Every structure is written in C-alpha cells, then in structure tokens.
C-alpha cells in the first residue's frame, strides 16, 4: 500500500512539474531564462507599479472548473520598509456582481533574467536603453473579508515580466504585447472558501487568462472567450467585442469604487 501511494505521489509531482514547465514556456513565448536566481540583486527596486499597470478591463480571470468569470482589482500595493521581498496588498474581487474586499501579501521568491534581450515588433525598443529583462516569481496570499458571505482566500504563484531601463527604473515589459498569446502578471492558484474549506481553481492575468481550459480562449491575436462560456459571466465581454455600447460601458465601469 505504501509503495502504491509513493508511486502515485511521484506521478502527481511529475504531472505538476510538466504542467508548470508548459505554462512557463507559453508565458515566455520565445524567450529563454538564465538559471541563476538574481533576487538579491534586484530587491532594491520597487516592483509595485507593475501589478497595477494594466487597465482593469484588460485583466481577465476565472474561478472554478466551469470558468466562472472573476474580476480582480489591486487597489493599493506597498513595499515593506523592513523586508524588501514583501509587498502589502489591498484589493477587491467581483464574482456575479458580488464585490468583496481583500488584503494580503506578495512575496518575491525568484528573479531570473532572460538570455537574449528582445525589443518588440521591428525592434522599436532597441534604442530605449534597455539594460536587462526578466521574469519575477512570487507567492501571493490574499484574504477576503471573513465577515462577508462566500468569502475566502486566494493563494498561488505570480509571474511578472519586467525590464530595467537606462535610468535604473523597473518597468512593465509589454514589448511583446503584439505577439500572439502575450500575457503578463499571471496569477495562478486557488481560492478556498472560509466556511467550507472548498477549494477552487482561480487564475487571472493581464490580457489573457493563464492555465485555462483549451476550449476557453479561442482568440489568436487577442483574448476571446468561447461563447459556450457566456452564461459564466462572459456575455458582456462578447457583446462589447461586437460593438454593443451598453456592454462596452459595463466592461469599462470602475466597479471597485
């Protein structure tokens, strides 16, 4: 029996590692990472602005195996004055119009540079003084207000693309924005209900949803959820894509205020 459990654990860990590797390849698109973790070289920089860079109507998320739409807004991010790898976060979630505030942390764990600099379409950033580029890996934990019904905790892994410019400023790396499949700020993890401990898959990101069902995002150049998921909160987005003004206004609404 113990041997069987051991084998099952090995298979599970192997499958998880393969899934993680596949996601990272897709996230990087064609970039390759150096193996060295240079976290200590970059903790002097403040990465907080990278996680609020993108307009909220371009941040897409899912919760549960049915890919119910969830909208996430990080409203405040402050770097810890005592621990340079910690960031304190405030934000709000929105599922089916039910809005819940949350608070928590982002903890940097790794920073790796890419092997060869990229400069966007037609090398438009080549003369912009890019010194280095890479991926930031972090762990996040956001706890919703426990006094609210159906509240819980978001927990998982964060992947962020960045670059360092000639003024020694960390910037959001959107140089590959026009590339098929581009995404950034990929939050990959779970949501667990406080009252029942029921856990659901919950992922969100800039411009694309990370680790979604293969039939969910049918877009090539841009994010486009399949109409089969319309009843899960994606109908407004579909209508907005087709030019419906009411739906456009709904998508642009600052629902967290």
pLDDT score, position 15: 38
pLDDT score, position 164: 94
DSSP class per residue in 128-170? S---EEEEEEEEEEEEE-TTSTT-EEEEEEEEEEEEE-TTS-E
pLDDT score, position 28: 83
pLDDT score, position 120: 67
Tens place of pLDDT per residue across the chain (257 aa): 456 554 444 443 443 344 467 788 888 877 899 999 999 999 999 999 999 999 999 999 999 999 999 999 999 999 999 999 999 999 999 999 999 999 999 999 999 999 988 776 666 667 667 899 999 999 999 999 999 988 999 999 999 999 999 899 999 999 888 888 899 999 999 999 998 888 999 999 999 999 999 999 999 888 999 999 999 999 999 999 999 999 999 999 999 99
pTM for the model: 0.90
3-state secondary structure of 209: coil
pLDDT score, position 5: 53
d(CA 236, CA 154): 25
Contacts 24+ apart (CB under 8 A), 232-239: 232/66, 232/67, 232/68, 232/69, 233/68, 233/69, 233/70, 233/95, 233/96, 234/69, 237/69
Indicate the domain borders of the chain: 24-215
């Amino acid at each position: 029996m113990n041997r069987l459990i051991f084998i099952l654990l090995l298979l599970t860990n192997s499958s998880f590692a393969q899934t993680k590797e596949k996601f990272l390849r897709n996230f990087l698109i064609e970039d390759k990472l150096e193996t060295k973790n240079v976290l200590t070289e970059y903790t002097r920089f403040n990465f907080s602005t990278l996680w609020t860079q993108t307009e909220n109507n371009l941040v897409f998320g899912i919760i549960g195996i049915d890919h119910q739409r969830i909208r996430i807004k990080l409203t405040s991010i402050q770097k810890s004055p005592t621990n340079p790898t910690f960031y304190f976060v405030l934000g709000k979630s929105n599922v089916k119009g039910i809005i819940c505030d949350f608070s928590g942390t982002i903890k940097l764990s790794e920073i790796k540079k890419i092997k060869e600099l990229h400069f966007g379409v037609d090398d438009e950033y080549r003369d912009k003084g890019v010194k280095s580029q890479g991926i930031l890996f972090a762990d996040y934990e956001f706890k919703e207000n426990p006094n609210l019904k159906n509240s819980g905790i978001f927990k998982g892994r964060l992947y962020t693309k960045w670059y360092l410019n000639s003024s020694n400023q960390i910037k959001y790396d959107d140089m590959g924005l026009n590339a098929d499949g581009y995404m950034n700020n990929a939050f990959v993890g779970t949501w667990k209900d406080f009252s029942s401990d029921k856990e659901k898959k919950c992922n969100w990101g800039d411009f694309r949803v990370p680790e979604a069902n293969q039939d969910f995002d049918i877009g090539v150049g841009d994010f486009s959820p399949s109409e089969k998921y319309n009843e899960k909160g994606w109908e407004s987005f579909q209508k907005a894509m087709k030019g419906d003004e009411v739906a456009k206004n709904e998508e642009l609404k600052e629902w967290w205020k």
